[in-house]
Amino acid sequence: EVQLVESGGGLVQPGGSLRLSCAASGFTVSSFEMNWVRQAPGKGLEWVSYISTTGRTIYYADSVKGRFSISRDNAKNSLYLQMNSLRAEDTAVYYCARSLSGNEDAFDIWGQGTMVTVSS
């Protein structure tokens, strides 16, 4: 079964750091572009970051640029999001999402999400 499973969420103080992981199964992550999307409680979806198959092309939302870092380990079939200098407004469910082959702007497989709460 094609699946993405996120982990690493939790409660962190403002200014702190957290590293999210996304483990893929049923497919080879090295063959797909990958993304992170977040959803604040009761709010809509917000695209966070994109990484190409090789990892050489990376994009970030303005709201996280300079604080978050996306990476991938194709050998571990996994995607990561390093989040630094966390703010209250980063509180959200974070989803990793696979780009549809040939249509990198469409996300066809989503994980179940991991909750990140930034609070003192």
Q: Point out which residues bind another protein (CB under 8 A).
A: 35, 37, 44-47, 50, 59-62, 95, 97, 100, 103, 105-108, 110-113
Angstrom distance (rounded) from CA 10 to CA 115: 6
The smaller minimum CB distance to another protein, of residues 13 and 103, is found at 103
SS (H, E, C) the chain: CCEEEEECCEEECCCCCEEEEEEEECCCHHHCCEEEEEECCCCCEEEEEEECCCCCCEEECCCCCCCEEEEEEHHHCEEEEEECCCCHHHCEEEEEEEEECCEEEEEEEECCCEEEEECC
Question: In angstroms, what is the minimal distance from the CB of 14 to another protein?
Answer: 24
The smaller minimum CB distance to another protein, of residues 21 and 75, is found at 21
Question: In angstroms, what is the minimal distance from the CB of 110 to another protein?
Answer: 4
The smaller minimum CB distance to another protein, of residues 32 and 50, is found at 50
Question: In angstroms, what is the minimal distance from the CB of 48 to another protein?
Answer: 9
The smaller minimum CB distance to another protein, of residues 11 and 106, is found at 106
Question: In angstroms, what is the minimal distance from the CB of 105 to another protein?
Answer: 4
Length of the chain, please?
120
